[in-house]
Amino acid sequence: MLSWRAPGGLSDGFGKMAAMDVEIGDDMIRLGQVLKLAGVVEDGAAARAVIEAGRVRVDGVVETRRGRQIHPGDVITYAAHRLRVVRSA
């Protein structure tokens, strides 16, 4: 389940990209799965391509491993998207 902080992930008015929360039911999810769950890539092949190309950051650091473990609190940025992973209630 996804919840939005700003319509369409637009700027928060202070020059920062507003984050979209991506809710997960477990304590961990793989990076490629987050991108697919949030709908910012079409499929696993697209996720793999953008990650391996170095276009994805986790907590501000370029990540090239599709299987990187992502935990609640981690922030993923890709293109104009900023995704914050949160644990569902």
SS3 annotation, the chain? CEEECCHHHCECCCCCECCEEEEECCCCEEHHHHHHHHCCCCCHHHHHHHHHCCCEEECCEECCCCCCEECCCCEEEECCEEEEEEECC
Residues 2-87: name the CATH superfamily. Answer: RNA-binding S4 domain (3.10.290.10)
Q: Where are the domains of the chain?
A: 2-87
pLDDT value of position 6: 38
pLDDT value of position 70: 98
Q: Look-up: residue for tokens 């910012």?
A: 40
pLDDT band at 3 (very low <50, low <70, confident <90, very high): very low
pLDDT value of position 15: 52
pLDDT tens per residue across span 11-60: 444 456 778 999 999 999 999 999 999 999 999 999 999 999 999 999 99
